[in-house]
Structure 1
Amino acid sequence: MTSPVDLEQLRTFVAIVDAGSFTKAAEDVFKTQSAVSMQIRRLEERLGTRLFERNGRAIEVTDSGQRLLSYARRMLTLSQETLSAFDENAMQGAVRIGLPDDYAERFLPEILARFSRSNPLVELSIACEPSSNLADAIAKGRLDVALVSDCGTDGAKLDIVRHEPLHFVASSAHEAHLKDIVPLAVGRADCKWRREGIEALERAGRRYNVLFSSWSAQVLISAVLAGLAIGVLPECALRPGMRILGERDGFPKLNHTAIGVLRSANASGAIVTALVDHIRDSLANLVPANAPAAQPIAQIHHLPETRIIRAQRGKPGSVAAGW
């Protein structure tokens, strides 16, 4: 192998892997499907190995394709960084972004990857706080951009970029959901998800007791996984070892929650606009929250239907005040 690998062929290869199909990748790289197929055929000939296998109508990346993928991403990133280093018009500077801790774990890797590849000379300053705190920071100009939920941002002008279902969740290894009085781990008193969960329990005639109250998603997740309480969480906050509670468990269905972008009134530069666009694109390309494939991403464990026991209903109303 004496001649170098063609970067355009690598770009097309990565696009196919990310899109999951030749047809969608052709749209992403602005080529015809036949041109995309030709590029992959030439790349396979160049490397002497198969990169994709067809499984019915679907395509699967071969072991050789998986090996190539990491090299391809690194080469494309380095190529972009090289061009940016010699581009006098490349964006330089800093931008401040905030998002809650659970959103940071779920969404931040994709956002950072997309933005940094295109703007390697821009410094990102990142803050992780509750949505209500971030909304206040945006209003006071301490942040340029914030990715927040509609929980605690009343009155703020939210640019909605994603919707996710809200769930009652429990530990799959414990039975807190079977208690007559539902133990809850929820946000602070002004949290919209907390209010919605409590109001749904009251409408269903379920008694409850708020045992844990925190602005930190990690605190609430820990209480749920320890089997101490039932949480009210969006799908992006679900973790391995959790199970979603539904009507068969005696828990009502909850509405979807909105995720959106807040932008400071003083943040109007090209860097901020580029970051907002990358956030929108990153979240749009994630598996839809209501798709069947969304649960395996979070590796949510559901108990077999034969083990599900309907919880007894109690009288409505809270038994004790929360922390």
Structure 2
Amino acid sequence: MNALLDLDQLRSFIAIAETGSFTKAAEQVNKTQSAVSMQMRRLEERVGQTIFVRDGRQSRVTDTGVRLLDYARRMLSLNAETIAAFSTDAMAGTVRLGLPDDYAPRLLPTVLASFATTHPNIEIEVVCEQSSCIHRRIQEGRLDLGIVTHGDSTHEKNGRIIRSEPLLWVSSAHHSVHCQSTVPLALGTKSCCWRSSATTALSKAGKNYRIAYVSSSAAAASGAVVAGLAVAVLPESALMSDMRVLSHREGFPELPHCNIALIRSDAAQDRIHNALAAHIVNALDNVSGIMAAE
């Protein structure tokens, strides 16, 4: 392999690996799908090996692709760092970002890994708390940006909705706790809008339930689910491989969608805040596509 690797091709390659889709990656790097496909063919020619295989509707990275992915991220990071080192206009500083731990496992890698590659001199401090706490911290100026659940009536008018996901009933893939005559639930505190949606839906459906676990931590609820101790309500982005989704076939009524919003402090108006806010919107926004389809 004597030819030099193309950084733009590597950027597209990383986007495909992270999204699992040529279509989503093309949107992320602002190219057509055919252009991205051509880039990957040329990258495979340079590497001399296959880096993607089809897995249903998804594109899965091969073992060779996994090896290349690490190099690609390091090359783009070093490139950005080099540009920043010699730029008199490079952005630097700290942004304080808050989000619930319901979203952290899936959204943080998607948002922060790619942002760090293009903005190596911007440090991001992350706080994981309930949406209501993040709203309060934003209002008090203790956080700059927040990714929150948009459903709390107190804050309904605040923020920009950037993502809409199904809210789902989940149980363990290896247990049958959902078959109990009185279903044990793992839910948030009384202020949680998902808890209200869940109990209201079950009451209307005439399904017996009891609240067995209460926690503001999604990790605690997920742990109870995976252990086969309870059924929980989670957004699609928080699903884990050892969970199963329950539907009306198991007697669980449909739940409303979960809207995710971006909020920001009035004082967070610097370029670094604008850069991260724009990156979050570009990385997570699926509302435009939904509206267009409707």
* TM-score, length of structure 2 as denominator length: 0.83
Give the 5 Å matches for 1:1-323.
4-11=4-11, 13-14=13-14, 20-21=21-22, 25=26, 28=29, 37=38, 40-41=41-42, 46-49=46-49, 64-152=64-152, 154-156=154-156, 157-284=158-285
Determine helix, strand or coil for the equivalent of 1:84: helix
The 3 A distance-change label for structure 1 pair 183 and 24 is closer
Q: Distance in 1 between matches of 2:111 and 2:206?
A: 42
Q: Distance in 1 between matches of 2:117 and 2:186?
A: 39
Q: Distance in 2 between matches of 1:129 and 1:57?
A: 34
The 3 A distance-change label for structure 1 pair 145 and 245 is same
Question: 4+ residue runs of structure 1 moved beyond 3 angstroms?
Answer: 1-41, 43-67
Letter in 2 for 1:132: S
1:108-159 per-residue CA deviation (whole Å, 9 max, x = no partner) reads: 0111112111211111111111111111111111100010112446325021
Deviation at 1:4, TM superposition (A): 4.3
Q: Distance in 2 between matches of 1:38 and 1:227?
A: 45
How many residue pairs match? The answer is: 286
Q: Distance in 2 between matches of 1:56 and 1:158?
A: 36
Deviation at 1:242, TM superposition (A): 1.6
The 3 A distance-change label for structure 1 pair 40 and 202 is closer
Larger Rg: 1
* TM-score, length of structure 1 as denominator length: 0.76
Q: CA RMSD in A?
A: 3.3
The 3 A distance-change label for structure 1 pair 241 and 282 is same
1:26-59 per-residue CA deviation (whole Å, 9 max, x = no partner) reads: 9936589579738954x55554445567999997
Determine helix, strand or coil for the equivalent of 2:103: helix
Gaps of 5+ in 1: 290-323
Q: Which 10-residue stretch deviates more, 124-133 or 227-236? A: 227-236
1:205-231 per-residue CA deviation (whole Å, 9 max, x = no partner) reads: 112211211111111112222222221
Determine helix, strand or coil for the equivalent of 1:265: coil
Residue identity (%) = 44
The 3 A distance-change label for structure 1 pair 77 and 250 is same
Does the 8 Å CA contact 1:170/1:227 hold for their aligned counterparts? Answer: yes
